[in-house]
Amino acid sequence: MKSIFIRNMAMTALVLTLSILLLSVCFIGIGRTYLIVDYRRDMMIGATEVAHTASAVSLERSMSDWTLSMVISSISGATGNHIFITDENGVILTCSDKKPHCEHIGRKIPEEILAALETEGAFDQLLSIDGVYPEKRYVVARGIDDVTTGDRIGYCFVSSSLGNMLGPWTNYLNWSVIAVAAVALFAILASALYARRMSKPLDEIAAASRKFARGDFSVRVKQNYDTTDEMGALIDSFNKMADSLEQAEKRRSEFIANVSHELRTPMTTISGFADGILDGTIPPEDERKYLISIRDETRRLSRLVRDMLDVTRIKARAADVSQRTVFDLSELVLQTLLSFERRATSKNLDVDPQLPETHIMVFADKDAITQVIYNLLDNAVKFSAPGTCLLVRLFKDTGKAYVSIKNHGETIPPDDLPYIFDRFHKSDRSRSVDKEGMGLGLYLVKTIINAHDEDIAVRSEDGMTEFVFTLALAENI
């Protein structure tokens, strides 16, 4: 489970970090480009202003005069750019360097740059100007025209080093790296906490599963999530599964205890009486009486085994679709009722069969459904209070045939109702065979109905108990 936590954390942190880095690179690149473009635009504006100034100065003085040199030196100091002015042939006349003998004075600008200036009207490139500068610099240039005649009298060049242009960007980059590192660290911590929170219930489920494997079904996973989300639904389903497993384990233990008891009682009786006859403990004149008891217990044991085998056989038959036919359910209910006439009369029961006048044809295994009706009627007669009414009702609704069997007697406890159809459930009310039976009647009923993909329900209140089951109508097949 730790590997899930680590993988989840690592994947989340990786995705967040890569996303942040990608966005940071994009924004830093965009910022760098914007800064360079904006700086070069300012350089071009500066070159234009210097050109206008030089043009104005040329009316009274030469462009190599110290006055113009002082002006461009002041502008250079304020902007950090290097400025020089050439004549119409590209020879440098004045420079912004504050040196008595500037090495740039007298240098000539290459003809291709002057040609580009004449063609485009402006110049903007990264170059060293044929050795004027020791390294490549961003250079912009504008022509200087005579104010009166409009003739070209020179050129103004403004240049800046890459370091000077990207000074603010470098500072921005440093802070960006710090911010990205902080956000990435926060993302890793957040992903670790989130991954831990998501893996914690999985750890609990794994721990609970290990306890289940050791036979402890009491453990449950704490529900801290909304049951509408995936993790909450998983925990809820797991806890419900645990409830079902715990109940199944209880029923299994109960089943084993009941079967052991049912088998042990006749076998103990048979063994005890046989030993008494053999060792002379039982006198000869009483042997017949005890042999009859041995015979009865043997038959009871035989019935017990037969009932268990019948459950297996009937379950297999009920699931066999080839055994199903179309038959009249009304007629089957009536025929089964007739077999209980003597028992109902002995308890003074008033049997009220509410059957429709028309035939209700269903598609099912007739023998299996006969067993269902017989078991339910046997239960109803057995547990009906003397002198009460036994109601058997048959009707159609929503494309199904419904059979309802209702009797009046002892109310089934509410705690027993969810387990009324369980095999060997410890409730005398759940037994549908005689007192010597195994209590498999209602379990068999539920099994047969479920094998037909139908439903059966029971309700018991105020001394009235009703079983209702459905069957598919033949007309819908």
> Tokens 């635009």 identify what position?
41
What is the distance between the alpha carbons of residues 384 and 410, in angstroms, rounded to a whole number?
8
Q: C-alpha angle 425/381/455, rounded to 5°?
A: 55
Q: What is the pLDDT of residues 97-124, one digit of tens each?
A: 877 677 888 888 888 888 888 888 788 8
What is the distance between the alpha carbons of residues 239 and 246, in angstroms, rounded to a whole number?
10
Q: Specify the range with the lowest mean pLDDT, choosing from 144-153, 253-262, 430-439.
A: 430-439
Q: Could you state, in order of their start, the residue ranges of all structural domains in the chain?
A: 2-169, 217-318, 322-476
For 143, other C-beta atoms within 10 Å of its C-beta total: 19
What is the distance between the alpha carbons of residues 326 and 328, in angstroms, rounded to a whole number?
7
Contact predicate 242/215, CB 8 Å:
no
Burial readout 334-345 (b: 16 or more C-beta within 10 A, e: otherwise): eebbeebeeebe
CATH 3.50.30.30: does it fit domain 322-476? Answer: no
Class of domain 217-318: mainly alpha
Identify the residue with better confidence: 150 or 163.
Answer: 150
Residues contacting residue 354 through CB under 8 Å, at least 6 positions apart = 391, 392, 393, 394, 395
pLDDT for the residue numbered 436: 44
Instruction: Give mean pLDDT, residues 343-372.
Output: 91
Residue 432 has pLDDT above 50, yes or no: no
Q: What is the pLDDT of residues 219-232, one digit of tens each?
A: 888 877 777 777 78
Residue 437 has pLDDT above 70, yes or no: no
pLDDT for the residue numbered 440: 72
Residue 241 has pLDDT above 80, yes or no: yes
Residue 254 has pLDDT above 70, yes or no: no
Secondary structure string (H, E, C) spanning the chain: CHHHHHHHHHHHHHHHHHHHHHHHHHHHHHHHHHHHHHHHHHHHHHHHHHHHHHHHHCCCCCCCCHHHHHHHHHHHHHHCCEEEEEECCCEEEEECCCCCCCCCCCCECCHHHHHHHHHHCEEEEEECCCCCCCCCEEEEEEEEECCCCCCEEEEEEEEECHHHHCHHHHHHHHHHHHHHHHHHHHHHHHHHHHHHHHHHHHHHHHHHHHHHHCCCCCCCCCCCCCCCCHHHHHHHHHHHHHHHHHHHHHHHHHHHHHHHHHHHHHHHHHHHHHHHHHCCCCCHHHHHHHHHHHHHHHHHHHHHHHHHHHHHHHHHHHCCHHHCEEEEHHHHHHHHHHCCHHHHHHCCCEEEEECCCCCCEEEECHHHHHHHHHHHHHHHHHHECCCCEEEEEEEEECCEEEEEEEEEECCCCCCCHHHCCCCCCCCHHHCCCCCCCCCCHHHHHHHHHHHCCCCEEEEEECCEEEEEEEEEEHHHC
Contact predicate 71/52, CB 8 Å:
no
Computed over every residue of the chain, the mean pLDDT equals 82
CATH 1.10.1040.10: does it fit domain 2-169? Answer: no
What is the distance between the alpha carbons of residues 45 and 140, in angstroms, rounded to a whole number?
10
Question: CA neighbours within 13 Å on the CB side: how many for 276?
Answer: 19
What is the distance between the alpha carbons of residues 231 and 244, in angstroms, rounded to a whole number?
20
* Position 329 confidence tier, pLDDT thresholds 50, 70, 90: very high
What is the distance between the alpha carbons of residues 185 and 179, in angstroms, rounded to a whole number?
10
Identify the residue with better confidence: 166 or 445.
Answer: 445
- For the chain, the straight-line distance linking the first and the last C-alpha, in angstroms and rounded, comes to 51
pLDDT for the residue numbered 476: 77
Residue 258 has pLDDT above 80, yes or no: no
* Position 434 confidence tier, pLDDT thresholds 50, 70, 90: very low
Work out whether strand 389-397 and strand 350-354 pair parallel, antiparallel, or are unpaired: parallel
pLDDT for the residue numbered 5: 61
What is the reported pTM? 0.45
pLDDT for the residue numbered 431: 38
pLDDT for the residue numbered 263: 72
Instruction: Give mean pLDDT, residues 143-155.
Output: 87
What is the distance between the alpha carbons of residues 44 and 349, in angstroms, rounded to a whole number?
115
Proportion of the chain above pLDDT 90, given as a percent: 20
Identify the residue with better confidence: 68 or 328.
Answer: 328
Instruction: Give mean pLDDT, residues 229-253.
Output: 79
* Position 369 confidence tier, pLDDT thresholds 50, 70, 90: very high
* Position 157 confidence tier, pLDDT thresholds 50, 70, 90: very high
* Position 325 confidence tier, pLDDT thresholds 50, 70, 90: very high
Instruction: Give mean pLDDT, residues 345-374.
Output: 91
